[in-house]
Amino acid sequence: MQNKIYDTLIIGAGIVGCSVARYLSKYKGDIAVLERNEDVCCGTSKANSGIVHAGFDAKHGTLMAEYNVRGSRMYPKLSEELDIKYKNNGSIVLCLSSEERPKLEALYENGIRNGVEGLRIIEREELLLLEPNVSDEAVCALFAPTGGIVCPFDATYALAENAVNNGAEFFFDTNVTGIVREGDLWKIITSNGSYLTRTVVNAAGCYSDVFHNMVSEKKIDITPRKGEYFLLDKTSGRYVSHTVFRLPGKMGKGVLITPTVHGNILVGPTAEDIEDKDDVSTTAEGLAKIRKQSALSIKDLPLDKTITSFAGLRSHEAGHEFIIGEVKDAKGFFDCAGIESPGLSAAPAIGEDIADMISEKLDLHKKTDFDPYRRGITDPLKLDEDRLNELIKIRPDYGKVICRCETVTEGQIRDAIRRVPGAKSIDGVKRRIRAGMGRCQGGFCSPAVMEILADELHMDISEVTKKGKDSAIILGENKAL
């Protein structure tokens, strides 16, 4: 058992847990994040569409709608403060027949009631000017100029780094297994011993029902809802410039086509309820559905440019609503449960509110020295020649390209490992700095990345993993040779 008594322990280092940590680090208090994986951003926050939704879709009057619109408005400033890759590319919802028009108008009305700025219904002529490759069937569309795209890894790491910089601690490979009341405190039992805390934040994604149900009589139920995707090579990056949706249905927003902030095209997701909270496999049926559905929105989409497929799990709550705030019959325990889409968009607003609720409850005071800024890892490609040459004089490793597909240098990889929290595995490097994210998917650069990881972390290369424990890359009895 740790002797220290925390003011707040946050379960889960996804975008929600990291956002809570960042906003709470504005206050004087001891806070830490407990994460069962080896790194930040290993759950749903790493596998989604990367869209900052404008907020026209979530039903008016729900927490989903309120937090979506507020969160989306926070992104431009947040991306400046934390140097997050974000772009306000605008989004479009296609109407593929005149019969669907009333549904599009209802979506517009819902968006207006939610307070989304600039919404307009546009006719085919204007639509074609915005997106020349839309289906011949498209008759009109809802245009939302405030829609955006963000790198979800970048956003999550930036929030975590800024939280650490302002005093928050992170404990990785720390699986929470129990929560019990001890007097006025909560005792959190983990695979790495127990922790005492005044307040708990449940930001455990698909597992948030498990923790809620440990402390409350009013049970909740979270179903993992799987979404599968194709990611297309950057050579297809200009095929669409806005995020292109179909009209939403019972299972969500449907298959969409969107550019990413890095210049790829993302196509998906499907929506299928499953039982296993960790099953992120892709399926032939799911991918076939995406092929069929995407063709209805965009003509001749170059799916032959696919470089990978992947899946993520939405934490779908039975009432299709976010559960946010202090649990009535478990004082000091705060839920961020059922945070399915638009959770990425809503995360900054959720983090801000939970931090305010906790600071009020514990009477925490604002720090005078809170630093809201964080700079990302230097991208040598963005420097002019003189500055690049100066950098290479001081850091020659910034002149050595390791990942050819994404043009990532050794210097960037070393910096990704040296960050706090820093990369400890191939996937940690990949998500922070994109080495291995390109066309060859790490086929060329992985061995070099492994050598750099081993060197920086003072370990044998055979100990380098893909994504933490149980993912060794070099196997066999003579692996150290």
How many of the other CB atoms lie within 10 Å of CB of 113? 13
- Name which position in 9, 10, 16, 435 contacts ligand FAD (CB under 6 A): 16
Give yes or no for residue 24 binding ligand FAD (CB under 6 A). no
Per CB under 6 A, which region of 159-167, 336-344, 418-426, 471-479 contacts ligand FAD? 336-344
Tell me which residue has its CB nearest to ligand FAD: 343
Give yes or no for residue 44 binding ligand FAD (CB under 6 A). yes
Give yes or no for residue 36 binding ligand FAD (CB under 6 A). yes
**Residue appearing with tokens 């490609």:** 381
Asked if 53 is an active-site residue, the reply is yes
- Name which position in 312, 332, 351, 442 contacts ligand FAD (CB under 6 A): 312
Give yes or no for residue 240 binding ligand FAD (CB under 6 A). no
Please answer whether residues 267 and 133 qualify as being in contact, where contact means their C-beta atoms are separated by less than 8 angstroms: no
Q: How far is the CB of 170 from ligand FAD (least distance, A)?
A: 11
Q: Which of residues 162-221 bind ligand FAD (CB under 6 A)?
A: 175-176, 203-205, 207
Residue among 35 and 456 whose Cβ is closer to ligand FAD? 35
* H or E element, residue 243: strand 243-245
Residue among 43 and 167 whose Cβ is closer to ligand FAD? 43
Q: How far is the CB of 319 from ligand FAD (least distance, A)?
A: 16
188-210 CB burial, b ≥16 within 10 A, e <16 = bebeeeebbbbbbbbbbbbbbbb
Choosing from 53, 212, 242, 316, the catalytic residue is: 53
Phi, psi at 423, each rounded to 5°? -70, 140
Question: Computed from CA positions of residues 81, 86, 89, 92, in that sequence, does the dihedral angle turn out positive or negative?
Answer: negative
User: Measured in whole angstroms, how far is the alpha carbon of residue 459 from the centre of its chain?
Assistant: 30
DSSP E strand stretches across 84-213: 86-87, 91-95, 120-123, 140-144, 148-150, 169-171, 176-182, 185-190, 193-202
CA pair distance 54, 32, nearest whole angstrom: 31
- Name which position in 55, 90, 148, 342 contacts ligand FAD (CB under 6 A): 342
Give yes or no for residue 417 binding ligand FAD (CB under 6 A). no
Per CB under 6 A, which region of 59-67, 77-85, 308-316, 441-449 contacts ligand FAD? 308-316
Angle, helices 410-418 vs 426-433, to 10°: value is 110
Q: How far is the CB of 54 from ligand FAD (least distance, A)?
A: 11
Q: How far is the CB of 153 from ligand FAD (least distance, A)?
A: 11
How many of the other CB atoms lie within 10 Å of CB of 93? 29
CA pair distance 379, 118, nearest whole angstrom: 34
Lookup: tokens for 22: 């960042």
How big is the site for ligand FAD, counted in residues (CB under 6 A)?
A: 38
Q: Provide the binding-site residues for ligand FAD, judged by CB under 6 A.
A: 11-17, 34-37, 42-45, 48-51, 53, 175-176, 203-205, 207, 227, 269, 312-314, 339-345
Active site positions, annotated: 53
